[in-house]
Amino acid sequence: AAQAKCDELLRRMPARHAAVIRRRMAGETLTSIADSMGLTRERIRQIECEGMRRMVRVDRIENARRASG
């Protein structure tokens, strides 16, 4: 159930954010992702953090809608 929820949240976000999060969850380093995407490690870290914040925000909104509905 948790994996399905995570997959659903990743499908709803920009492709770059989803790709970075998937690769980080698979254990890939910031450096290897940055090199393959032509970005800096810092930018990859920022994209990862922004993507995680989006996932939390969407999950909270959905939970609030279910609770009030």
User: What pLDDT is recorded for position 59?
Assistant: 85
**Nearest 5°: CA angle at 53, between 69 and 22?**
105
- The more confidently predicted of residues 67 and 69 is 67
pLDDT tens-digit readout, 9-60: 999 999 999 999 999 999 999 999 999 999 999 999 999 999 999 999 988 9
Q: Smallest Cα–Cα separation from 59: which of 17, 4, 6? A: 6
Q: What is the pTM of this model?
A: 0.86
31-34 long-range CB contacts below 8 Å, 24 or more apart? none
- The more confidently predicted of residues 30 and 65 is 30
